[in-house]
Structure 1
Amino acid sequence: MRRTRLEDVAKLAGVSMATVSRALSSPSLVREKTLVRVRNAVEALSYVPDASARTLASGRSRTVAAVVPTLDNAIFSHAIQGMQEVLGANNYQLLLGSHNYNPDTEINVVRALSERAVDAMVLVGADHAPETLSILRQSGTRTILTWSLSNQYPCVGFDNFEIGAQAARYLFDLGHRRFGMISGIASHNDRARLRTEGFVSTLRALRVELPRGSSCEQPYTFAGGRTGLRTVLEHAPTRPTAIFCGNDVLALGCLFEAMALGLEVPKQLSIVGCDDLPISAEVTPALTTIALESGMLGRKTGQALLRWLQEGVEPGRTELPVSLVQRDTAAPPPQ
């Protein structure tokens, strides 16, 4: 069966092919009566525009690709939703890829999406394999980094060092002097690495050391948080009274394990997370955390991309705020 073509729509609507093209791409420029005829013809013929032909003709695919570490974590989903709302309202489609924190997989995903001639690419973090960045440079794909800050690429992100620093200052001010930390895997993850550096460096500036054995790296899962707490309790030279976790999923896993071990939170152990996932306010005790506005990040990224694509204004460096949300898992240490 022959594919319906643009000229078939034009013939049925009684207009030129140029008018049909204009009605599909810029309907505001077409008279209402003509627009109705074109739309009726499109519906009657079940016409689907040829995206590849439109891309060749215009030099634009009107698609943006976003490559994230995982779709399992709600914080990335919230950002994607915010980006989609902005781009979709301006007739751009969002393509997604994920790599599960594997740099080789990210290379393959970025290559595949670049071959689709996307207008722009959104990446998470500042740590990427040289080959990934080379693919984007060679293809001329506009690239914006998210969740991290960079002086080399346009970015919309958070100060991840400050996230760790805020947690350290808050717990120190509560009176804690024995600390632990459960971090995400730092390899190929600048966000995890910088949060750890912020926490450790700030404690050191306050003349408190994080002893060897008092910290560990775990996957971003509830199980990782549970294992992390057991690991810290087993290897720390003295039992910590406060633990900072690299994200809320780890912090919640840590909380669940503390309860299973009979540790009273926050009476015996204070826990601070990072993200402010919706579930963090609903558990008992509610999780104290560093809030990241993931939906705002998505919307800001979408808006920056639109200015770049439509007006040629290259995004700069946009730093979004982070703030500590005090709830029920952090309190002064036991006397």
Structure 2
Amino acid sequence: MQGSINEKAIETLTIESDAVKALIPHINDEFETVVKAILDCKGRVILTGMGKSGHIGRKIAATLASTGTPSFFMHPGEAFHGDLGMVTADDIVMALSHSGESTEVVNILPIIKRIGASIVAMCGKRDSSLGKYAEYYVDVSIEREACPLGLAPTASTTATLAMGDAIAIALLSARNFTANDFAVFHPGGALGRRLLLTVENVMHSGEDNPIIAKGKTAKEALFLMTDKGLGATSVVDDNGKFIGLVTDGDIRRGLAKGIEFLNEPVEHMMSKAPLTIAKNKMAAQALSIMEKHKPRPITVLPVIDEANNPVGIVHLTDLLRQGVV
């Protein structure tokens, strides 16, 4: 039994991978015409399809929308009962049906034409009702389904999904869509947090930014760090310019030598050339600097402006809390 199960699984993957590879010759002038039509589209790309094709259409619409092409899915059944009001003459409707004969899809084609929207057929039969009705055709024909009964959509839906990805990536490239553009549409995701959050967004500034003047004692620095709860404080000169950093680790190491250490000025114990960062840098860069510090990672970074003023401080826990990973 085990051998039969594995053999069928391998056969399924082989058939589906072969179906995707067989699409490569279909990336031709006709495919390029479809992509250019979408690029020139003043409206949205509306995906529609019934059953399994509908599920694939939803995914393609989501991929297009997240990569710079305004898009949504319209259920053909609901379209026939009012949702066709979503369609405008400036839109392109991409209809999915392997056979090209799905009743619900075919029934709405005349109305879409009447509205004035263009139709792209993504199907496996050019001479089908859908293939004949559409202005544009994307060939997703396959040799056979992976289903041994030839009934369950398997290789056909895989091929359609892959072709949808091919269209989306071709559009992404043509639009010069960048990772930052992608992040704008994914502000809640990990990528968005990495690409949209700057140091300024996460740093402690103003009253929350611990700063101590040179000449102040280790004891005063300890009280300040305890009050601010960040485990460090920037040290400034008489002009308010950044000259170093004192951490709670510096205090602990000093106290190991004797309590009289608390009366020493902070400039005697501070790090005179600590790592710093500018507020316009990405939060992810701050995290990288902290993690890569040798011999051991650090937990705070002073934020210094162009005039060498300490305008903030970033703590590792703030970055992690924001999901910067």
Q: Confirm or deny a common fold (TM above 0.5).
A: no
